[in-house]
Structure 1
Amino acid sequence: MNDLPMDTPHMQPPQPAVSIIIPVYNLEQYLDATLESVERQTFADFEAIVVDDGSKDGTRAVACRHAERDPRIIVVHKENGGVARARETALGRARGRYITFLDGDDLFEPEMLQRLVEAIERSACDIVCCDYKRISSSYEAPVRSGRTGEMSGMEFLEALLCNEVWGGLWGKLYRRALFGEGIRHYPLRLWQDAAVNIQIFCHNPRVCFIDYVGYGYVQRAGSSNHSRLDFDYCRLYCETLAAELRRHDAELAGRADYFATLNTLRVYLTYLCKSRSPWVGDSALACDLRRDVARFRQEVRRHYSAVRLALLTLDRRRALRPLVVLIVTLLRWRKSLERRLSR
């Protein structure tokens, strides 16, 4: 039998090309499929860091079972602190040259990592984005960005703040250096991904898109995206992101106010599109938003249709709330029909 060196327990394995960040909380019934999709990757040079954020069910046991049979899977346990803190913990341990994210109830297609790594290594880009598909109990439907080629970080930031590109961390491969000490991980209830991406894109990285549906976004009733959207949270989120954008005002060439207006408009229209949301058209946020949209009218019109901007105007009057709800309902029906036709 060969004797191992005395310091073997302290030796680090070779640096992997990719670190996969997987935050999990009470996902026992989904995590098996998620980690199996990781293990099936045709690109094998990765580490998968699963952060169990204080789960109360059998999530931890599922993760440990996979780690026992695949040394590339690393399980970290911590007290519950939310997905932002879980990702921050994983990033502190990540060793890969590249970073990608996977939610604990979602799936990778088998060639996901291979396609993204090949794309980033043959380009001068810092981030590569792929398309994704929505997965429910009754259907699967690809969602394509319709974009190919490259964009600047400023172009991507503007598109993100207008919902023209998906703001999630998943479905992207990042160079590790983008997650420096200046990145703040806000423990927000919704849209934490966009809060991180907005900071990253303020540094104007190069972004490219590939025509490949590599990520499976599993829609489930209990996810945070289906939770109730209240106005106080919208106001908190807008204030938080406005302060973050102001922190990067120099990198944004003095245009932090414009980007903050786009973000607030995006959030406010999302609130309006929840037809049961109470009327808040006379709130300070709504009044300030109408003023700022008028200030940047020409640029805002490049990204928003006249119908959607009309919602902001109509919502000024409580008596017109029924008309706002009607328009929102028609827009929702149209979007639903488009999704069905795309399947």
Structure 2
Amino acid sequence: MRAAIYRRPGPAAEVLEVVEVERPEPGPGQVRVRVTTSGINPTDWKTRAGLTRRRPDGFQVPHHDGAGVVDAVGEGVAGLAVGQRVWLYLAGHRNRYGTAAEYAVVPAVRAVPLPDTASDDLGACLGVPALTAAHCLGGRPEALKGRTVLVAGGAGAVGHFAIQLAKHSGAQVVATVSSAEKQALAEAAGADHVVRYTEPGAAQRVLDLAGPVDRIVEVAPAANLELDLGVIAPRGTLSTYAAEETLTLPGGPLMSANVTLTFVLLYGLSAEQLADAIRWTSDALAAGALTALPVAAYPLDEVATAQDRVEQGFVGKVVLRMAAR
């Protein structure tokens, strides 16, 4: 099969190459998926660049997310069949075969049925962003009905699915963005209200539109903490999935309001937590409540350019589309 690989961390153009490798066979509890679309997340380029502690074992096929068709089933696998469309998540986690290839072999639990009503682009957009969003929202949709949710960065991938999952669960959703372009994306995702956090009085604007906020999904806690504390309701929860910088926390206001502060990294979730997030995402997908982000598509041979596009902050989702052979 043709696959993008890297053997050491470094700049995309220097370390990524597209080569022929042996097509892997699924072992017990695994499935092989013929990949049609590979989704790229920030975690993919950061790992390839060496910004995390993970290093290739010989070689690594990058990318965690994707969509495709089950091609072979290993011993002991139930609930998946050859020919079934699936979406993939965390394909490259502790696994050599990510989705930037014509085929990927993954634990069967990481291949989730993709309804016929959902496109491959949408399937490849899910994975890391949608499951992160679901866990940041508490993992269980019934707890959000009638609540108010603030989604910071409502035009991003996690923000997009946080808006849609919260709306599907019966929550009122307000999103914050920085520009007119991003406001249009957050509105298209279904946010009830969209506020420019760059404008004066943004916190008061949130309160005027939506009232105190029960749960916040936060992309930039250091930059947005003042706004968050200005709008969060007593006993509210602030969940952040992007807190790589040093945070200085005002203990008094957090304690006075009994705020719960949670940090979310998908790799570290328990099997039960992942199962809750997958169930919520799958239910919303089956109901037609989830939509694809704006997509920039590249062929496999342009994987380095595609990863660089993500690193440069493309608003939407960058994907690789595999050519049929």
- For normalisation by structure 1, the TM-score amounts to 0.27
Query: Which protein has the larger Cα radius of gyration, Structure 1 or Structure 2?
Result: 1
* Higher relative contact order structure (alpha carbons within 8 Å, sequence separation ≥ 6): 2
Name the structure with the higher strand share.
2
- For normalisation by structure 2, the TM-score amounts to 0.28
